[in-house]
Amino acid sequence: MAKGHRSQIKRERNESQRDTRPSAKLSYARVSVQKACFVLDAIRGKDVETALGILAYNPRYASTLIEKLLKSAIANAENNNGMNPANLYIEECYANKGPTMKRIKPRAQGRAYRIEKRMSHITIVLNER
In a domain, 81, yes or no: yes
| Banded pLDDT at 64 (limits 50, 70, 90) | very high
- Starting at the earlier edge strand, list the strands of the sheet with 112-128: 23-29, 112-128, 88-106
In a domain, 7, yes or no: no
Q: What is the reported pTM?
A: 0.82
In a domain, 47, yes or no: yes
Neighbours of 91 (CB within 10 A): 16
In a domain, 123, yes or no: yes
Say yes or no to pLDDT of 19 above 60.
yes
Express each pLDDT in 78-108 by its tens digit. Answer: 998 888 999 999 999 999 999 999 999 999 9
* Residue 75, helix vs strand vs coil: helix
Neighbours of 77 (CB within 10 A): 23
Which residues constitute the domain of residue 61?
21-128
Helix 33-43 vs helix 48-56: crossing angle, to nearest 10: 130
